Chain A
Amino acid sequence: MSENRWGFPDLGLGVGLRSPHFQHILSERPEMGFFEVLTENYLDTEGLPLYVLDQVAERYPVIMHGVSLSIGSSDPLDFNYLAKVKALAARTKARWISDHLCWTGVLGRNTHDLLPIPYTEETLRHVSERIRVVQDVLERPLVLENASTYLEFVPSQMSEWEFIARMAEEADCGLLLDVNNVYVSAFNHTFDAEEYVDAIPGDRVCHIHVAGHTHKGTHILDTHSDHVVDPVWALYGRALRRIGLRSTLLEWDADIPPFEVVHAEVLKARAWRDREAARAA
């Protein structure tokens, strides 16, 4: 399988646009397939971040990645927020808009965390309906990422990967496969990460994330604060083998090192991509 069903291009390798790197990116103009931006950091601001984003969007493809859509919440959707997301996407000519399969708060509150949902038939209907509404508003497919989770609900009626596959089908949405999150959740919940990756409908995957994490012994936290570990790279290679080449992003959001370090880390994905390209040829 080589393409996603919307024809979103393989943009190669990218990193997140983070403020410690603003100056380096503007002055050095590093070779980069794309930059991913945290959507909410550029809403309701007219300051330096938006200025830098405008400059970056002139030179590089931009992908928007949100953390506050709260698609799994039982609160009503925030249409004011969606309008701003849509406007920012138009401003930056964002190639696609992604967020997470999670909820972030209820009763009007935002915990700013990616909280887990029970994988039930009821949740599936609820989330799928909301995705369709969001896609109608945004007038483009929504791309949803599997979040790392630290607990499982007893009432869940299906695995996370079954839920995601069915959700993508029922809502007709795109997927962002975060292989680090798969690895983290697989450790935390003792499931088979490879089975998960193999079950994801490849034609719906528009984008792949890799990242570092923090191993706490009893569980793993998705901290985006370190280099990518070898088993996550292996999972990435497996994902490419199953679904083909996809735009690949390295996330590094805490203890952010100099840009060169982040850049070098994402370039490690090149070997896996070259291997897959050679195999497919």
Chain B
Amino acid sequence: MRRDPNLRTTAFPLDVVERWMQAVIVHPGAVQEALASEEASRELPAGSLEELVKPSATLTAEARVAIYREMYLLRMVEALATDYPVTQYVLGEEAFTALVKDYVQRYPSRSYTLNRLGDRLPQLYLEEPERAGAAFLHDLTSAELALTQAYEEAESEVLTPDAVLAVPAAAWPQARLVPVASLRLLALGHPVLPHMEACRLELPCPKPRRGATWLAVWRKDYTVHRRGLSRAEHHLLQALAGGLSLGQALAETAASLDASDASKRIHAWFRAFVAEGLFSRVELRDRQP
């Protein structure tokens, strides 16, 4: 990085002071370890603390630096607890704080907003499968991230039953049902809704167990919703979200359903999807020649 020449005229140029202080603040060890760390020593020789930071009437220079270290971690924990309240509830405060400490070492904030800080927490569990409960916690954090993403997404217009009725029957096979922008579809290896509910009601968490789970997360009228799906519902919504026409999506999905009641079930799903606000609009296409 190019250095501003104005900063080079004192024994403690601003850029050096700032890099040193950041290295000490974000270091995961104890304050003494942070002060003696390689990152801090790259900027200023070990033992420079008293030459740079004044003690106060009540605190040593080290204790004053430690205030910033504590506040940094506290802020990171608060930010991630906002996005991952259920994960914090499941892990408990101590284990969650330890997780945050590790996470911000690997994925420190590089954004002007804290809203993006937690975007890669599910990724951490993929990258470190040896972590306790990693497979379940990957699924849980993925679901919580989807809730956050749905909260942040643009509000979409919602397809109304009247708009559905206005589509000519012959146009449906080629039609494309466009989901609302906030819709997130998840295929997980563990049920997570019971843990979300336990957290909401402040009840003891059930033990994580394996089990294929499909979820939809979306927002309607600025309220985020979530609900479980069957495998076939998930498949159908995934196909529609991927841009397939209704005819193509139904053909793919119907193959996995019992032919005797497939039509009835699919109709019931669509009524529910529309009522719940999962779709934004119907795009009508010309029939293929």
User: Which residues of A approach B to under 8 Å, CB–CB?
Assistant: 40-41, 43-48, 51, 68, 72-75, 78, 81, 103, 105-113, 115, 117-118, 120-123, 125-126, 150-155, 188-190, 217-219, 221
Contact = CB atoms under 8 A, between A and B. Distances in A.
Contacts, number: 150
Contacts of A219: 56, 58-59, 64, 67
Given A74-B7, A155-B52, A109 B222 contact: no
Nearest to A254: B78
B52 A153 contact: yes
Contacts of B275: none
A152 B22 contact: no
Given A44-B113, A48-B222, A113-B75, A106 B19 contact: yes
Interface in B38-59: 50-54, 56-59
Nearest to B109: A110
B112 A78 contact: yes
Nearest to B154: A46
B67 to A, nearest CB: 4
A154 B76 CA distance: 29
B266 interface: no
11 contacts: A47-B219, A51-B155, A74-B15, A115-B18, A115-B68, A126-B7, A151-B54, A154-B52, A155-B17, A218-B56, A221-B67
B138 to A, nearest CB: 25
A120 B15 CA distance: 13
Interface of B: 1, 3-4, 6-7, 9-15, 17-19, 21-22, 25-26, 50-54, 56-59, 61, 63-65, 67-68, 71-72, 75-76, 79, 108-116, 151-155, 219, 222
Given A46-B152, A122-B6, A122-B7, A109 B110 contact: yes
B163 to A, nearest CB: 23
Given A109-B22, A109-B26, A153-B52, A47 B151 contact: yes
Contact of A125 (B6, B19, B112): B6
B22 A155 contact: no
A117 B113 contact: no
Contacts of B112: 40, 43, 68, 78, 81, 110
B15 A190 contact: no
A31 B53 CA distance: 46
Contact of A154 (B54, B67, B114): B54
Nearest to B65: A151
B111 A118 contact: no
A109 B22 CA distance: 9
In the A-B complex, the 8 residue pairs with the smallest Cβ-Cβ separation, listed nearest first, are A74-B15, A46-B154, A68-B112, A151-B64, A218-B58, A150-B67, A48-B222, A40-B113
Nearest to A111: B72
B252 to A, nearest CB: 31
Nearest to A44: B113
Contacts of B63: 218
Nearest to A82: B112
Contacts of A118: 12, 14, 17
A74 B22 CA distance: 12
A74 B4 contact: yes
